Amino acid sequence: MNNEITYSQELLIPKLRSIYEQRGYKKYKMSKFEEYDLYLENKSFLKSENIITFNDLNGRLLALKPDVTLSIVKNSAATPQKVYYTENVYRVKSGQYKEIMQVGLEYIGKIDMYTLCEVISLAADSLSAVCENYILDISHMGFISGFLDELKLPASACDEMLELISRKDAHEIKGLCEKYGVDRELTEKTVSMATLYGSMDKMLPACEALSVNQKTKDAAAELRALYTALAAIGCEKNINLDFSITSDLSYYNGIIFQGFINGVSGSVLSGGRYGNLLSKMGKHTDAIGFAVYLDMLEYLESGDGDYDVDVMLLYGESSDTVALTKAVKMLNGNGNTVLASTEIPQRLRYKQLLQFNERGLEIIEGND
């Protein structure tokens, strides 16, 4: 297994673009801004409530886009539509507005099992393009909403329950069920649903046994069919079932998922079926997609064999230029990439650190 990590945008973006184009997805290009009302009306769909706004010359209130999906849905016409994008979005990060590169794809049109399988497999391929050591966790809002229907909680308590499910908080789930008079058997099933986690092949029987109504039965059947299709193409590995992945029911209406890779604590990929969003925006069709968050990859620690240069060569300001040039040429001749500088650039990843002085080349650190 190849455990090397690719997180340089210059290397990763072409890989992802090739993966998507091979399945018929076309590049989508959009403006950097939209009318602010688009985001105001869909604030709960956004990952960030902080939006940069400005007035254009006609007095319209515009916003630098914090999201790509909303723009694609707003401007979609003919279906089916298969698009991918490499776009900057503008969000708050570490207390500051940041321009963040995001890569993703959207399928707008009728969703069948082939479409579900294609999008999930492309999400897995996207994670694999970064690192083979990945996990793709899948949930289903239909299964979760089936439980909420059965619990018969007030609307405000449903939001609270979704939050508790996302935290796998068994104690608080039991407390909320007790508060609203939910019977013990359904309470225990809710706790089991929220804490269910593991490979799809092992967890699907438990999922099917937990079904409480037709909605959960249909969702479990869709998950079973999806797993069967993924297994048939050899794409079932590293895929888990996890109902603690939740999202806004007013936007998402089916399978949702998140991707993780070794070395990053948060999800680096997120997506799902968001047909309810299209309904809210007057589009009479369905949609599914995902985004890869390239900014999350900044937290990766580089692995062995993953360097910006082979040799970082430090030299002093009074170093002999001719001798230094010959030393660099000699290192290049041995097949090394070399960065010669008076100081080490921030975040540079090097295989070996050398010092050039009057005695020649001196090894400071390295693993050759």
pLDDT band at 47 (very low <50, low <70, confident <90, very high): low
Comparing 251 with 211, the larger pLDDT belongs to 211
Pairwise CA distance, residues 229 & 232, whole Å: 5
Cis peptide before 80 (omega within 30 of 0): yes
For residue 307, the model assigns a pLDDT of 75
Q: Which residues pair with 87 in a beta bridge?
A: 102
Domain boundaries, the chain: 309-366
In angstroms, the Cα distances linking 163 to 158, 171, 173, 185, 194 are 9, 13, 10, 21, 11
Lowest-confidence region among 19-23, 135-139, 258-262: 258-262
Other beta carbons less than 10 A from residue 335's beta carbon:
7
Residue 361 belongs to what H/E stretch? strand 360-366
pLDDT cut 90: percent of the chain above it = 57
For residue 325, the model assigns a pLDDT of 93
For residue 262, the model assigns a pLDDT of 82
For residue 334, the model assigns a pLDDT of 86
| Structure tokens given for 220 | 């479990």
Q: What is the mean pLDDT of residues 146-157?
A: 95
Full-model pTM: 0.78
pLDDT band at 1 (very low <50, low <70, confident <90, very high): very low
Other beta carbons less than 10 A from residue 70's beta carbon:
19
Q: What is the mean pLDDT of the chain?
A: 89
Is 330:357 a contact under the CB 8 Å cutoff?
A: no
Q: What is the mean pLDDT of residues 18-28?
A: 95
For residue 302, the model assigns a pLDDT of 44
pLDDT cut 70: percent of the chain above it = 93
- Summarize pLDDT for 246-280 with one digit per residue, the tens: 998 888 999 999 999 987 878 999 999 999 999 88
- With a cut of 70, say whether residue 349 has pLDDT above it: yes
- Summarize pLDDT for 61-84 with one digit per residue, the tens: 988 888 888 888 888 877 789 999
For residue 300, the model assigns a pLDDT of 62
For residue 299, the model assigns a pLDDT of 62
Helices (H), 47-112: 69-75
In angstroms, the Cα distances linking 303 to 12, 42, 67, 262, 308 are 16, 40, 31, 11, 12
- Summarize pLDDT for 73-132 with one digit per residue, the tens: 888 877 789 999 998 888 777 677 788 888 999 999 999 999 999 999 999 999 999 888
Neighbour order of strands in the sheet with 53-55 = 33-35, 61-64, 53-55
- Summarize pLDDT for 271-330 with one digit per residue, the tens: 999 999 998 888 889 999 999 998 888 766 444 446 788 899 999 988 999 999 999 999
pLDDT band at 56 (very low <50, low <70, confident <90, very high): confident
